[in-house]
Structure 1
Amino acid sequence: MKITWLGHSAFRIETAKARILIDPFFTGNPAFDESTRKDAAAGLTHVLLTHGHGDHVGDTIAIARETGATVLANADLAAWLGSKGVGTVDMGNTGGTVHYDGFSVTFVNALHSSAQITEDGVSHSLGNANGLVLHVEDEPTLYHMGDTDIFSDMGLINELHQPDIGLVPIGDRFTMGGAVAALACRRFFQFSTVIPCHYGSFGIIEKTADTFLAAMDGQSSIVEVPRVGDVVVR
């Protein structure tokens, strides 16, 4: 498995059978390197969305039109994307699992909101926010937490799915901050690799992963802090 951080909460995941973008927020993302846009969408098979905020839906509509990739989102967000002309849209919801060739995606809880104010000035509720657990055939299990605070049922997510890799928001203000994110990782999971995200993009959230690293105590060795565009292989 190859994992590329594209800034904010956007990741490219390459598996034996799929090329996946999660929360592809490129346009307007101060951390995104525009020169990597073509590579980010190369050979794309799927786009997975954690929730409906603009900094997570991002460029999904344009990417789906350009590549023909299947977009998977919660039912409300998927219906909204379909109304915007996205051709292949799959839907799920909290607790449900969607199966593809070589991997599956399970929607789990996240403590956050999910809406957009569109160009007509109307606020659209776009379902509940989720985390996404990817069970990949013969490869590590990956959990993208989405935007969330800590919650005790993370223990159940670990019990049910035993994720190896955690993509963890640490930026504070809109998600848990570094110290709380570290507590979530240490208390509820046995990750072999943790990659922090949702920081270093906008000025009002954390600029670095330093607080998170410090709070991981004796487990900082499992944390990978890539630069935007770096590839982590697992």
Structure 2
Amino acid sequence: MRRARPGLIAIAAVLAASACTAEVGPNGSTPAPGGGAGDASQARRDLAALRIAAEGDGAGYDREDFGVRWRDIDHNGCDQRNDVLARDLREVTRRGRCVVVSGTLHDPYTGRRIAFSKSDAAEVQIDHLYPLALAWRMGASRWPESRREEFANDHDNLLAVWGVPNGQKGDSGPGEWRPRKEYQCTYAIKYVAVAAEYRLPVTRADRDALESFLDRC
């Protein structure tokens, strides 16, 4: 995933328009897949314990170093992409036991309702909350290949999202990119949990942004 470039006027316009098309749930909230707010107190403790570090220069990064295919690391017979689609989409239809061919996504990043079809798979993408390239710059370059593949296929670091905000996010951390306000608490809890699990540091800007997101919990 490449770093997003500034000046994406068309994307910004679409995201702004999404505020008018987002589905509104109970109490004026917009639905978001992938679980509830979780334990914000635990996230604050974990965030306080994360090491603060500057980003490396990313030299030598290649997405293939994290594995080039979706794996079945939980050994349920289905690859992680289809597992995540089945988890995060609604009204899911499958081909066979595993392959998700259609469904509806309530995009967590924008609140927009997105129709998924396998024939237009790029409309819904699987995002790494803690991006692969950022993880490389923050120390994953020193991991064994098996650890990087585990990280890239970990359900807790994967989220089905609309392709537009995913392209805008690129390999940015929370200090450079943020989802809609209603999802920032959940996003921070998930991000911190992944960083803590893999002992990845965060930049000072990312730490400050995550603290502000957790204040919304």
TM-score range, shorter chain: under 0.3
Larger RCO (alpha carbons 8 Å, 6+ apart):
2
Higher share of residues assigned helix: 2
